[in-house]
Amino acid sequence: MPAAKKAAKKFKVPRATLTYKVKGITPRCRRMEPDPILTHDEETIVVQWIFSLAKAGFPVGNILYWTVFNI
């Protein structure tokens, strides 16, 4: 009995899941999502900018929301 089959039986997980993990194959559900438009650092900068506007008295309303959304 192959090792993946034994491990799948022992830990009660699908054998295909273990095989994909060992081979480094990405599940189809993960590959479907688009790449992010902003990097994590860029997103942090935008969030800080929005907070600074809010502290300065500019409301975070629909116009600001849609402007940032459409970046």
Averaged pLDDT score across all residues of the chain: 82
Residue 4 CB contacts under 8 Å (≥ 6 apart), including other chains:
15, 18, 19, 22
Question: CB–CB of 26/37 below 8 Å?
Answer: no
20, with CB counted inside 10 A (0-12, 13-18, 19+), is middle
* pTM exceeds 0.85, yes or no: no
Q: Of 21 and 68, which is predicted with more confidence?
A: 21
Mean pLDDT in residue range 45-63? 85
